[in-house]
Amino acid sequence: MGIGAAEMMFRCVFQGSISMQDCLMELPMCTALHNLKGICLSTCTSRTTNISFPKKQPRVIVPCLCQLPDSLLIFLILVPALILAAEDTTSITMTWALSLLLNNRDALNQVEQELDIHVGNNRLLVKESDIKNLVYLQSVIKETLRLYPTAPLSVMHESIEDCTINGYHVSTGTWLIINLQKIHRDPFIWENPFKFRPKRFMTTHKNIDVRGHNFELIPFGSGRRMCPGVSFALQIMQLTLANLLHWFKFETPLNEAVDMREAAGMTSPKATPLEVHITPHLPTFVYDSNN
């Protein structure tokens, strides 16, 4: 029976490395994309060579790109952009999730107990079909996205007409950017907003989702311009975090607290690298069985 795309990506990631780049080129779609990119660039190079340019005018590739069919341009430009965007944001969220768990050992222990109950110690891989039973782990991902949305500011929107919102006049053509992190940490919406409390998504906020329907939690945005990869991103994050915590015991050097300072930028990575010590969590024969 075939495996899903998320599980395929996960397996590729851990074939000798934990770099997200390792898995991308092993996916059939990305291999075809890589070959197609080579064909497009070869075509552009050939056409550039045959174009007559005035002296001292640099040869540019844009005219050649404009001659390519739209379908090729989409694969050449848009698809790699989407893949790279997903890679960066996913790895940042995974780093924050592990950091939060290492600074909150009770939560880390609860995730490990949940994995022991629903996956057990006799199987190597946590599968996509297991995720529905890992309710606390799903809550950990939600709480991580609440506290540390990968992109703390939303994509820009533009008002199409004059309007007044809560006494503020917004003129036509005004660019609007939503501070997602401010909403996610608003004390009028969230109790103890700066505390890491995954259980809130199993009790008081159990009906709150991250797919853009509940405006108090919109790490992927909302509406027509929200992140198109929200479902796939959640699958990858849940599957990756589950397997990491299933395979290994994580500790910080000298059992010190993780530095939670954020770096500035379009995304919100940690200001300092996450350093951990890992030890096997499963019996040796399970790693050897490769099941």
Q: Which residues are annotated as a binding site for heme?
A: 227
First vs last C-alpha separation in the chain = 14
Which two tokens mark 172? 């036509």
Tell me, what DSSP letter sits at residue 224? G
Work out the burial of residue 9: count CB atoms within 10 Å of its CB; fewer than 13 is exposed, 13-18 middle, 19 or more buried: buried
List the binding residues.
227
- Spacing of C-alpha 10 from chain mean position: 13
3-state secondary structure of 64: helix
Distance CA 291, CA 224 (A): 41
Q: 255-283: buried (b, 16+ CB within 10 Å) or exposed (e) per residue? A: eeebeeeeeeeebbbbeeeeeeeeeebbe
CB-CB contact of 205 with 143 (8 Å): no
Distance CA 264, CA 257 (A): 21
With a CB cutoff of 8 Å and minimum separation 6, the contacts of 284 are none
Distance CA 132, CA 239 (A): 11
CA atoms within 13 A on the CB side of 179: 4
With a CB cutoff of 8 Å and minimum separation 6, the contacts of 101 are 107, 108, 111, 140, 245, 250
